[in-house]
């Protein structure tokens, strides 16, 4: 019965997606103190509720305790000084963490002063958060408890966007930012639409990506901003480790180290934004591999350099940039033998090692560059997926974020290959 219903259901005229924008804020001295107090209260609530939950779970095996921070407020009146939504959000985050980890027999971590993330989230209710324009360059954001905080509006927020929540954070260099999340109506992607210009990216170490078109290859020289700054960061970190926590020198050094980290990530973001922007404008669909980056960094000893080049970030940027232009990102399943298959005759070379950068196909004799061959295979597979989607294949799923992929049932069975080495 339900099946019939979904088939009859027409495509909605709009879908709601979340969009996020981040702005620099410049709180006054008093506002900074209140923000720091809020961070501290969130940590306090997290640790106390977590403690209660752990002991409750031990007593009543398998049952979860769900209490609000209200009872803590009675005994600790200082909690009333800060934004109550921040504390509730802490409780909700803790709930999520407990549900996930208790089931696995683990517990969430306690938060430690000076080591925890310096941020809190508050919700939009009845215009309690509002942008106030005072002059050409003078703008403020009204926030619960804090009042008007100076905000640097480097770009305007469309009027039709509906604010959902706001996260106030302090970076390690001592700057304050606010990230605002909005609900936005967008046109859904037309099902079974035709895509003409398609690009495919193969993830390549130690550079970033190799493209099927050859126009968007990113070599090692183009990236590794972090590596260039790494020596300097290590030096600062050593100095920091000798400082007494909380001293004036400690914070000075901490902010200096933070600045370097921020420099590295700012360069990375800038580079990836430009690349993803170009690609999403010039192509209708982009094909990428759905590889597990965490698994890769741990098992293949690439470690930091996997995170360093921001491949995951690039995929996310591509997804939302394509989506906003009513285009799709195709994720090819991680069991697809993109490296081991010959792009000319589709014979699979099971003997290919990770160290083989070039190889010759035993069936048809074509000589391949490992990454180029891989990107060609991804492009073919991506086209195949798009065609299957166009003909109404129900084993494919289009996520609201605009990512088209196989439904995760038994992906290994589809490609019938060994999992090693890929």
Can you give the binding site for Zn ion, defined by CB under 5 A?
Answer: 342, 344-345, 347, 361, 363-364, 366
Using CA atoms, how far residue 134 sits from 131, 137, 141, in Å, is 10, 8, 11
Please, where are the H alpha helices in 283-415? Answer: 293-299, 304-308, 311-324, 370-390, 411-415
Shortest Cβ distance from residue 258 to Zn ion (Å)?
51
Shortest Cβ distance from residue 211 to Zn ion (Å)?
21
Distance between CA atoms of residues 337 and 374, nearest Å:
9
Cβ proximity to Zn ion: between 81 and 369 the closer is: 369
Shortest Cβ distance from residue 288 to Zn ion (Å)?
24
Cβ proximity to Zn ion: between 138 and 356 the closer is: 356
Please, what sign has the CA dihedral across residues 412, 413, 418, 422? negative
Cβ proximity to Zn ion: between 313 and 344 the closer is: 344
Shortest Cβ distance from residue 359 to Zn ion (Å)?
10
What residues are paired with 56 via a beta bridge?
none
Cβ proximity to Zn ion: between 235 and 362 the closer is: 362
Cβ proximity to Zn ion: between 119 and 339 the closer is: 339
Shortest Cβ distance from residue 410 to Zn ion (Å)?
27
Nearest CA to 28 out of 150, 138, 140 is that of 150
Shortest Cβ distance from residue 378 to Zn ion (Å)?
16
Please, where are the H alpha helices in 60-161? Answer: 70-75, 84-102
What residues are paired with 199 via a beta bridge?
286
Nearest CA to 188 out of 407, 398, 31, 406 is that of 398
Shortest Cβ distance from residue 362 to Zn ion (Å)?
8
Nearest CA to 120 out of 90, 154, 153 is that of 90
Distance between CA atoms of residues 113 and 109, nearest Å:
13
**Numbers of helices and strands, H then E, in the chain:** 11, 15
Cβ proximity to Zn ion: between 323 and 373 the closer is: 373
Distance between CA atoms of residues 164 and 184, nearest Å:
10
Cβ proximity to Zn ion: between 310 and 337 the closer is: 337
């Amino acid at each position: 019965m339900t099946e019939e219903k979904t088939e009859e259901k027409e495509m909605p005229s709009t879908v709601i997606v979340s969009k996020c924008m981040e702005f620099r804020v410049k709180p006054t001295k008093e506002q900074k103190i209140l923000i720091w107090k809020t961070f501290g209260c969130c940590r306090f609530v997290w640790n106390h509720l977590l403690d209660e939950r752990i002991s409750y779970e031990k007593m009543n095996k398998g049952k979860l305790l769900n209490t609000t921070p209200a009872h803590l407020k009675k005994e600790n009146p200082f909690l009333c000084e800060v934004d109550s939504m921040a504390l509730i959000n802490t409780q909700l985050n803790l709930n999520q963490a407990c549900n996930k980890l208790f089931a696995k027999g683990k517990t969430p971590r306690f938060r430690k002063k000076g080591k925890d993330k310096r941020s809190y989230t508050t919700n939009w209710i009845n215009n309690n958060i509002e942008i106030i324009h005072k002059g050409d360059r003078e703008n403020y954001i009204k926030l619960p408890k804090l009042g008007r905080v100076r905000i640097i509006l480097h770009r305007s927020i469309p009027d039709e966007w509906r604010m959902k929540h706001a996260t106030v954070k302090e970076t390690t260099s001592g700057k304050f930012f606010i990230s605002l999340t909005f609900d936005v109506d967008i046109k859904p992607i037309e099902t079974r639409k035709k895509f003409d210009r398609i690009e495919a990216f193969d993830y390549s170490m130690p550079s970033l990506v190799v493209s099927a078109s050859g126009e968007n290859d990113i070599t090692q020289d183009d990236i590794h901003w972090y590596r260039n700054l790494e020596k300097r960061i290590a030096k600062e970190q050593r100095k920091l480790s000798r400082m007494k926590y909380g001293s004036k020198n400690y914070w000075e050094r901490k902010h200096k180290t933070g600045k370097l980290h921020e420099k590295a990530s700012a360069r990375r973001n800038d580079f990836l934004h430009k690349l993803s922007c170009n690609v999403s404008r010039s192509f209708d669909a982009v094909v990428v591999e759905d590889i597990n980056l965490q698994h890769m960094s741990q098992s293949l000893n690439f470690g930091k350099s996997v995170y360093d080049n921001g491949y995951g970030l690039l995929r996310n940027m591509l997804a939302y940039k394509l989506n906003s232009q009513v285009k799709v990102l195709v994720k090819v399943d991680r069991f697809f033998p993109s490296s081991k298959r010959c792009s000319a005759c589709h014979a699979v070379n099971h003997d290919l090692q990770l160290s083989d950068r070039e190889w010759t196909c035993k069936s048809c004799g074509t000589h391949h560059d490992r990454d180029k061959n891989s990107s060609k295979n991804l492009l073919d597979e991506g086209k195949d997926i798009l065609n299957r989607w166009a003909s109404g294949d129900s084993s494919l799923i289009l996520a609201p974020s605009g990512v088209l992929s196989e439904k995760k049932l038994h992906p290994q069975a589809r490609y019938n290959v060994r999992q090693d080495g890929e």
